[in-house]
């Protein structure tokens, strides 16, 4: 394919700058003018797909350890448990386990891994943390506040196939980014802005298994994303939302009128599809669009960034925040939080 042909495909299918202005990547190969130094994406005969999955995994491990070290160098509090969330790299012992060992926390800090669930993984992680906190509360925990830290280390930029130039892969390569975030769950907010979990629900959409996948290849992890995803989400989201509201004991009409919606920005069309089918205003979905614009799709780390933006906006106590996230399956995950 000539450069002119590639440019034509890119102009047609890539996510436009007006929708995603910036993305961060741990791997600097793309921005380094000297491709001879490239570690993940070397250029040359036999190397067009990039480095093999072993090299990419080693890079992920090194950077994940650095992220954990940075997060906990600034932390004055020792957590009771750490839930490590990622779908973009695995190495055992994990960065979370290595941190616990280095800090000498091995006898008092537990580690749980929430891996390979894709973009919706923050909600299962919250559900796990909620259960850990509830069990600790039921046992009294020797009078000590039991706190679960959830840490996301996502490096989607490690899993591009430089030799792929299909329309689907142009979308993937212009949509995904790297992102990290740490947040905590516990019984007591301790003066911090926080949410109360009112409900979490999931559903696997029928006849959708071919529409989104995340699978290992020799060069890395292959993302497949069909053009049917927005339409299948449109078809199922209203009934799913009604079930989530009923499970949480809340009124659908009140939530639609007054709630703030944190929609995982799997892409601009995902946010717009959910907004249209539920009849939401731009102000109700603005935080998702802002995070997509400022950071791109960071897989599981994206929704927590939206939650953080909402808390920082200082909305009124009692405001309901309805979240939707989507991933392989095709799976829809949702939650309803209340601002404390």
> Is 114 among the domain residues?
yes
Q: List the structure tokens of 326.
A: 């989507």
What are the tokens at 156?
A: 């989607």
Domain presence at residue 182: yes
Same domain, 160 and 271: no
Structural domain range at position 204? 195-339
Residues 138 and 232 in one domain: no
Average of per-residue pLDDT values in the chain? 90
In a domain, 275, yes or no: yes
Q: Are 182 and 202 within one domain?
A: no
Q: Which of 152, 186, 220 is the last residue before a domain boundary?
A: 186
Query: pLDDT digit string (tens) for 68-84?
Result: 999 999 777 899 999 99
Q: Kindly report, residue by residue over 182-200, the tens digit of the pLDDT.
A: 999 998 877 788 999 999 9
Q: Where does a domain end: 166, 186, 206?
A: 186
pLDDT of residue 141: 57
For residue 37, count other CB atoms closer than 10 A to its CB. Answer: 10
Q: Is residue 43 part of a domain?
A: no
Do 253 and 278 reside in the same domain of the chain?
yes
Task: Find the farthest-apart pair of alpha carbons in the chain and give their distance in angstroms, rounded.
Answer: 68
Residue 299 to residue 334: CA distance in whole angstroms? 15
> Is 240 inside a domain boundary?
yes
The answer to whether residues 141 and 209 belong to one domain is: no
67 within domain boundaries: yes
pLDDT tens-place string over residues 6-38: 788 888 878 888 899 999 999 999 777 777 788
Backbone angles phi, psi at 194, to 5 degrees: -155, 175
Same domain, 242 and 300: yes
For the segment 195-228, what is each residue's pLDDT rounded down to a tens digit? Answer: 999 999 999 887 777 677 788 888 888 887 677 7
Residue range 244-268: average pLDDT?
95
Residues 169 and 263 in one domain: no
Nearest CA among 30, 336, 58 for reference residue 220: 58
| Residues 204, 174 share a domain | no
Examine the domain organization and report whether 210 and 304 are in the same domain: yes
pLDDT value at 323 more than 80 = yes
Q: Is 172 domain-assigned?
A: yes
Together in a domain, 132 and 94: yes
Question: What pLDDT, in 10s, does the model give residues 261-300?
Answer: 999 988 888 899 899 999 999 999 999 999 999 999 999 9
Domain end position, chosen among 130, 160, 186: 186
What residues pair up with 335 in beta bridges, in sequence order?
200, 323
Q: What is the CATH number of the domain that holds 289?
A: 3.40.47.10
Q: Give 1's pLDDT tier (boundaries 50, 70, 90).
A: low
Q: How many domains does the chain have?
A: 2
39 part of a folded domain = no
Residue-level pLDDT at 188: 80
- Indicate whether 208 and 134 sit together in one domain: no
Same domain, 159 and 209: no
d(CA 320, CA 306): 14
Q: How confident is the model at residue 143 (pLDDT cuts 50, 70, 90)?
A: very low
């Amino acid at each position: 394919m000539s450069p002119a042909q590639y440019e034509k495909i890119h102009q047609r299918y890539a996510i436009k700058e007006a929708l995603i202005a910036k993305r961060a990547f741990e791997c600097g190969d793309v921005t380094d003018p000297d491709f001879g130094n490239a570690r993940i994406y070397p250029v040359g005969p036999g190397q067009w797909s990039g480095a093999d999955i072993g090299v990419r995994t080693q890079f992920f491990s090194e950077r994940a350890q650095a992220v954990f070290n940075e997060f906990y160098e600034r932390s004055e509090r020792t957590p009771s448990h750490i839930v490590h969330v990622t779908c973009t790299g695995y190495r055992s012992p994990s960065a979370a386990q290595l941190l616990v060992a280095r800090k000498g926390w091995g006898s008092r800090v537990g580690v749980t891994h929430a891996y390979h669930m894709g973009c919706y993984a923050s909600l299962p992680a919250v559900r796990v943390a909620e259960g850990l906190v509830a069990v600790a509360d039921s046992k009294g925990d020797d009078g000590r506040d039991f706190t679960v830290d959830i840490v996301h280390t996502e490096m989607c930029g490690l899993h591009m196939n430089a030799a792929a130039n299909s329309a689907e892969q142009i979308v993937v390569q212009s949509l995904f980014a790297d992102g990290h975030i740490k947040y905590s769950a516990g019984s007591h907010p301790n003066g911090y802005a926080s949410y109360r979990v009112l409900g979490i629900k999931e559903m696997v959409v029928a006849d959708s298994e071919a529409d989104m996948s995340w699978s290992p290849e020799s060069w890395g992890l292959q993302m497949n994303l069909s053009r049917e995803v927005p339409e299948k989400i449109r078809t199922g989201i209203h009934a799913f939302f009604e079930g989530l509201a009923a499970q949480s004991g809340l009124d659908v009409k009140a939530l639609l009128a007054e709630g703030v919606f944190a929609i995982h920005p799997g892409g601009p069309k995902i946010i717009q599809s959910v907004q249209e089918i539920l009849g939401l205003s731009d102000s109700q979905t603005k935080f998702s669009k802002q995070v997509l614009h400022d950071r791109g799709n960071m897989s599981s780390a994206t929704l927590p960034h939206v939650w953080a933006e909402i808390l920082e906006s200082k909305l009124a106590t009692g405001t309901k925040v309805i979240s939707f996230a989507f991933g392989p399956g095709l799976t829809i995950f949702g939650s309803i939080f209340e601002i404390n």
